[in-house]
Amino acid sequence: MSDTTKGWLLASPLTLILVVFLIAPIVMIAVVSFWTATEWSIVPAFSLENYQFLFGSDVTYRVFFNTFKYAAITWAITLVIGFTVAWYLAFHIRSLPVQIALFLLCTIPFWTSNIIRMISWIPFLGRNGLANNMLISMGVVDEPVEWLLYSDFSVILAFVHLYTLFMVVPIFNTMMRIDRSLLEAARDAGASGFQILTNVVLPLTKPGIMIGSIFVITLVMGDFITVRFMSGSQSANVGRLISNDIALLQYPSAAATAVVLLVTVLITIGILLRLVDIRKEL
């Protein structure tokens, strides 16, 4: 048996799993997206009706704009927080046990479900919640602030809370692999802390930043339950659009929206991967 045949045999189980659980469902969604649906049945006949309606509606463009807005703002905030936390853990904590303890501390919120962590913000941000009571008692405001809950602010706050760790982990992992002698050499050459950050740490941390960015952007763009709860059903993203179609049993329409979302996410990831060759860097 040749080495090529052995290689194919070794790869065949994983290939089968990918085909059955990844490629086949995506193909099925793409096929269903070209079907039509009535109030009573789904007609398995080729039609561009779903895509024509999708691209011909102003609602679609507003919803996609909302989705990109949430993804961009969440990405920027999680990047700043994630990079700061990773920097502190990697370069300012010398003891490995302390590093591990602090890193585990960051994972504590993940010990409960996303929904519980998300809903926990509602009594805190509500009109009579702890946040408003503190602001009033401190004299910052005279009456409860309405925009803390059921607004874009609360949606983005929940997204940042849910997905920041997905930015911290890859950046921290990349920073831990930076040779500390490079930092010492930069200091010996007279580089300031800011110069070390911009000329040494940031270029070497690009793969981790890119991986974290892909995680956060894809998770936010596919999320729908957070937008539903934290906006009080006053806002929508593409995930909610798909969820609403499924609730109305409009599976072909939901499938068409899912295909457009998938293509959009793949294009976004492709653009990000053009900036950094992750395989080469790692």
Spans of all domains in the chain: 58-281
pLDDT score recorded for residue 22: 87
Residue with tokens 């499938």: 255
User: What does CATH list as the number for 58-281?
Assistant: 1.10.3720.10
Distance CA 12, CA 5 (A): 10
pLDDT score recorded for residue 107: 79
Closest CA relative to residue 181, chosen from 200, 205, 203, 206: 200
Q: Look up residue 91 and give its two tokens.
A: 């370069």
> Please, where are the H alpha helices in the chain?
3-18, 24-32, 49-55, 58-87, 96-107, 114-119, 121-125, 130-137, 152-176, 180-188, 193-196, 202-222, 225-230, 238-247, 251-275, 278-281
pLDDT score recorded for residue 1: 59
Q: Look up residue 178 and give its two tokens.
A: 């930076």
Q: How many CB atoms lie within 10 A of CB 37?
A: 21
pLDDT digits (tens), the chain, 282 positions: 566 777 777 778 888 898 888 899 999 999 999 998 877 778 888 888 899 988 888 888 999 999 999 999 999 999 999 999 999 888 888 777 888 888 888 777 777 777 888 888 888 888 888 888 888 888 888 888 888 888 889 999 999 999 999 999 899 888 888 888 888 888 888 888 788 888 888 888 888 999 999 999 999 998 888 888 888 878 888 888 888 888 888 899 999 999 999 999 999 888 888 877 766 555
pLDDT score recorded for residue 27: 92
Can you spell out the DSSP letters for 6-20? HHHHHHHHHHHHHII
- 216 neighbors 78 (Cβ within 8 angstroms): yes
- 91 neighbors 175 (Cβ within 8 angstroms): yes
pLDDT score recorded for residue 130: 84
